Structure 1
């Protein structure tokens, strides 16, 4: 049974998917921010993902240390930041490496590249100088590390336009008014909110419909 949180609590990964336009059901992100709930069982292979992700993080950390970087790993980078409207933003970058007064925030991904990956690192680049003020005077860059590829994100990518989009998104997710609920099988099959908390949940794929003969195409 869902229970209201005392104050809205948002994970960076929820914000990044919202900003990337990878989710249409805005209500799900709002619900997670405002409630604790019993999550719907998933067939996601968490053990395999954890093992693959940990190996990628360890390899990157070892390579970075060999190059002379100071390396901070996962829990060392965890943060919680309270905004002006009391909403709390939480996150945990995989790696933060520093050398010669230059900082790189690295997030390791075991799947295919997604726009939300990019947004996630940009949020870290925006937030971490406030968590660790000494970094405000240093260039902070981002890097997405995949199994066979990597993407660099320059510090200038955190511009006024991005700041405005981030602020707007946090206001929406952390606001008191529920957002739009747009259930669809495409999203619901990956959503951990059960029918008990979301009665509009769609658990079956739409039927294949073959219309009558036509000459449209």
Structure 2
């Protein structure tokens, strides 16, 4: 048993990022991209225009990306401290991503790498549901490729593996897999179990060989 207290202050020393290998840095950037995608279209556009600066570890670019990410997450957590609704939107791409992490064996893919691919799959499904237009799909592909992140799961992942692993996700309620999906203009998403199951099947089959 334990008790959680909100911190009085959070200090972030951006110089510590220089101790990370490039792959770890890029893994973290995947979560930053997700943040802009689900709730901050202006920030997402900034990321599109400043990705090379982030990869080059430009101090001012890193500081701004961290600041906006923290502000966005703080707003969500303040609205849903006990994670009963809107906070789940921060898990965009994670249901697919966690399945990849588990399916390939933890440690072989970094968390951000799996989330990046999960993001692409969630975007693909959102498009199949006709909830977003293809311009968003293209922008997501472009920014992740610019960040040198994977946009497809490993060939060892099958449709059946995805389904069995996703069925164990914490967002399953009453036997229904709830997903975070994009809906509407960039920066908008929904957390829902009300979607056409065929769209999920079509996405899985599009990304898996079997």
Give the TM-score, by structure 1 length. 0.31
Q: Higher strand proportion, which one? A: 1
Q: Higher helix proportion, which one? A: 2
Which structure's CA Rg is the greater one?
A: 1
Give the TM-score, by structure 2 length. 0.32
